[in-house]
Structure 1
Amino acid sequence: MNDILLILDYHSKYTEDIAEKLRLEGIACRILPGDALPSEIQAISPLGIILAGGTGADFPLSIDGRLLHTGIPILALGNTTASVCLLLNGEIKDTTMLKKVENVSFLASVLTEQLRTSQRMLHAINTLELSNELKPIAKWKDEIIGFKHQELNLFALGFQIESNDPDGNHILMRFAIDICGCSKWWSESAHIGLMRSHIEKTVGDGTAICAITGGLDSGVSAVLAHKVLGDRLRCIFVDTGLLREGEVEFVLKHYRDKENLSITLINAQDEFLDALSGIINAEEKQQTILNTMRRVLSEALEGVEYDAVIRGITCDEVLRYGMVDAIVPTEGKTVIAPLKELFKSEVRYVAEKLGMSKEVTNAQSFPGTGLALRLYGEVTKERLNLLRKADKIFSDAIYESDLAKKLFKFFACLFPMLGTKNDEYLVSFRAITTADTREGASLVLPARIPFDLIEECANKLTAECPQIARVNYDLTCIRIEVD
């Protein structure tokens, strides 16, 4: 058995929360889709399995019943509890929609030891009728919402682990350490060591290619691979013309001059502008940029010999989209993704352990589409220059005011103004923070930055760019439901 827990994903938000909590405690974990085959799971040979479900009334029907009889300890959380109950000959008595905090009482078990009651955010409750092989371990009022198997090392709780949740953390640690026998060996440094060994073993004496986008994910992957391969790693950076002001120089300064990566810079600004000509729809822009990037890289690598491709894909992307095709040609090549087990929120810590500068690790994320989707309407050189100027003025003011570390993102958007005599534009500044609610939603909130800062940015922008006729600050609050 490998000293690792396996999380089967039935709800990406809670899967990420559980994985991060385990790793913070030093428990190693891997993530697979919920429909992974029992043979895939047994090949990993984990010490335990967590079924990470959601909190809604509907429950997953894709759980393979054979999984429950592999002899591997299992903890079902959230609505996967109802699924497991049915697979073990139980029944669902009723479903109650709550979306409020309620008391849950615990019965004695190795999983719930030292817990008597806990306040839990209960969204929807599937009350259970247990078969003879199951024994209750958690109740809401007098209704059963959690159970253990009389013979198998199997537990289920009909609620999820929350963000600030000592009782939930206690349950996770009881399962990981006391039931599964995991040890606390995982850390960012340990992950780096494993990936270095994997790269060394996989590439051997061969060579590898890595496309650097300017983002942290591809940069960290390249730096990690470079520490193993040295000059046998060749990096390619494409200047799309859609990057922020000074972005190309920033990337080369850090990765080429400081990290000593071998980087080939390709100026493809004209190719991307030509490809985007006349396109207004955001989805069409996104697909056009992806297709153009693949074509540019394919042409650049024609006739180049390499054995492996280093990808900067993270677990967030794998869970959301699967292992989509890389932007670099991979046919007949070995693909190595050093960060595919990590979430974007964890990549920064790996970067710090690699010794990368704070200037890079603290830089705000930037979409692969660059400025194209922050520019409404057709992408033209003139409009890009205006948006680039607006974005820099606003970003510089945020950094100079020492507000950047308090914000999730800050940027500018450009809107053509219809019905004006000349080509005039509106610029919208946007700075946001994020928060989770106990009701199960994520909030994107407008940051309360000083009015004087916004006014100063607006005055400077309109003075330097006469085409900007209006400037506003976006106060939209967005609520994203997780179920």
Structure 2
Amino acid sequence: PNEFQMWMSHGDKLTKSPDGFKAVAATPNAEFVTIENSERKMWGLQFHPEVTHSPLGKTILSNFCIKIAGAKQDWVMTDYANEFIESVRAKVGEHHVIGAVSGGVDSTVAAVLMTRAIGDRFHAVLVDNGCLRKDEAKKVLKRMREDCGVNLRCVDACDRFLDKLAGVTDPEQKRKIIGNTFIEVFQEEATKIENDLNGNCEYLLQGTLYPDVIESISYKGPSATIKTHHNVGGLPDTMKLKLIEPLRELFKDEVRELGMALGIDETSVWRHPFPGPGLAIRILGEVTRDRVKILQEADDIVIEELLKSGHYRKIGQAFVVLLPVKSVGVMGDGRTYEWVASVRCVETTDYMTADFYHLPYDVMGTMSSRVINEVRGINRLCYDISSKPPATIEWE
């Protein structure tokens, strides 16, 4: 087509093409969106073809990789797995690895890969930071051990995390505290494993994805750090463990494809993402034990209703946010003054861009009725209709 939509998120633009290049595509306010030098077979783009909001992006990438560069279409996800397994065996040698496992698709795939690479020398650890979903620690232990064959232990660090978060309201400070405490716990666990096994535990496995890296680190120029991810930009300078991040160059849909290629069950592969800091960044304002309990109950109801109504698999990510706002309500014959919560559901495959999910009113109504009637502490439920950009998927 002569005109098509592409996603641009730049604060700058090219004002002059380099020698030998000519403009072949433009927007009303950017003259050199696409440039080419046909003699040298070089092209330049100032938009993102790889994201959901660029509908013809995959066609552009395919044309370049296959028709121009002549790449063979013989690569499969199992190749990625085999390459990682070989490289990690060479890197780790006879050392032991401790694994950061949350039960989400990212850490599950990473843990299965590491287990297949070094077997019993991989020690998976779930840190219960007091901000997990309802009964999450018990469910993850059962699923990872029985379904995925991963040797997983759980460290109860609830009080340690929640005590450090007391009085903290700034989202970046929350992420830094959780990131630092997270690594502290893992360093302690690595020492215990080393002492127990008389082995050398030098490495930490994490399920960091490519969007996490992009949002956390500004590589060059004016690109901004959007927010710190606890497993990227939130690491303390004193961290003694060396990181292994097998998914660092993959998007979420690619991780799911890899999980299926590894034979991981669909329930684990299609779980919605859950942030490393957990509910701490879905509780706006101070994180308290009471507010965590309220949000756990509300979130559990919303996910249950999405599964019942058949919308869960159609949604890229869904959760509840507890706002630092109270509203007046009526329960029975009495007046209430309780917290406001918001449901967030988005459609996305790459998690770099996202549209809010058009959830049917009847499903919203059931969610609202159940949350307000069953969760003590919430008397008003809203629905977030923001897209990314300009909003992010998470609120903090």
TM range (shorter): 0.7 to 0.9
Q: Which amino acid is 1:156 matched to? A: W
Matched pairs, number: 354
Q: What is the aligned partner in structure 2 of residue 147 from structure 1? A: 37
Structure 1 CA distance for aligned equivalents of residues 172 and 242 of structure 2 = 30
List per-residue Cα deviations over 1:304-326 (Å, max 9, x = no partner). 23143323222333344356576
The TM-score with structure 2 as length reference comes to 0.77
Report if aligned partners of 1:276, 1:378 keep a CA contact under 8 Å in 2.
Answer: yes
Contact 2:336–2:379 (CA under 8 A) maintained in structure 1: no
User: Identity, % of aligned pairs?
Assistant: 26
The 1:330/1:399 distance shift into structure 2, 3 A limit, reads same
Superposition deviation, residue 54 in structure 1: 8.3
Contact 1:56 1:124 in 2 (8 A): no
2:95 to 206, 218, 222: 206
Question: Max radius of gyration: which structure?
Answer: 1
Q: Which whole-Å deviations, capped at 9, do the CAs of 1:194-217 have from their partners, x for residues lacking one?
A: 111112222233321111133322
**Aligned mates of 2:89, 2:278 — CA distance in 1:** 33
The answer to whether residue 366 in structure 2 is matched with residue 473 in structure 1 is no
Aligned to 1:373: 281
Change (3 A) 1:194 1:328: farther
**Coordinate RMSD, CA, aligned:** 3.5
Counterpart in the other structure of 1:176: 69
Quick one: higher RCO (CA 8 Å, sep 6+), 1 or 2? 2
**Residue 278 to residue 189, structure 1, CA distance change in 2 (3 Å):** same
Pick the aligned partner of 1:294 from 183, 187, 193: 183
Tell me how far 1:452 sits from its aligned partner. Answer: 2.2
Which residue, 325, 330, 355 being the options, matches 1:444? Answer: 355
TM norm structure 1: 0.64
Unaligned segments of structure 2, at least 5 residues: 1-5, 195-199, 218-231, 329-334, 392-396
Mapped contact 1:298–1:329 kept (Cα < 8 A)? no
Corresponding position: 1:164 with 2:56: yes
AA aligned to 2:355 is: V
Q: Report the CA distance between 1:354 and its aligned residue.
A: 0.9
Q: How far apart are the structure 2 equivalents of 1:470 and 1:54? A: 34
Match of 1:38 in 2: none
For residue 163 of structure 2, give the secondary structure of its aligned residue in structure 1: helix
Q: Is the 8 A contact 1:390 1:461 kept in 2?
A: yes
Contact 2:110 2:206 in 1 (8 A): yes
**Matching residue of 1:355:** 263
Q: Please report how far the alpha carbon of residue 403 of structure 1 lies from its aligned counterpart in structure 2 after TM superposition.
A: 0.6
Instruction: Please give the secondary structure, in 2, of the residue aligned with 1:224.
Output: helix
Q: Residue by residue, what CA displacement relative to the aligned partner does 1:16-35 show, whole Å, maximum 9, x if unpaired?
A: x9xxxxxxxxxxxxxxxxxx
Question: Is residue 428 from structure 1 mapped to residue 342 from structure 2 by the alignment?
Answer: yes
User: Partner of 2:291 in structure 1?
Assistant: 383
Matched, 1:228 2:139: no
- Structure 1 unaligned blocks of 5 or more: 1-13, 18-52, 60-78, 100-122, 128-137, 139-144
Give 1 or 2: higher strand fraction: 1
Structure 2 counterparts to residues 310-325 of structure 1, below 5 A = 310-321=205-216, 324=233
Give the 3-state SS of the residue equivalent to 1:245 in structure 2.
coil
Q: What SS does the corresponding residue of 1:210 show, helix, strand or coil?
A: strand
Following the alignment from structure 1 to structure 2, what is the Cα–Cα distance between the partners of residues 259 and 158? 42
Distance 2:9 2:380 in 1: 44
Please give the secondary structure, in 1, of the residue aligned with 2:204.
Answer: strand
Quick check: 2:327–2:338 contact (8 Å CA) kept in 1?
Answer: no
Alpha carbons 2:106, 2:208 under 8 Å: kept: yes
2:38 is aligned with 1:186: no
Q: Are 2:190 and 2:201, in contact at CA under 8 Å, matched by a contact in 1?
A: no
2:13 to 58, 79, 82: 58
State which of 236, 256, 274 in structure 1 corresponds to 2:145. 256
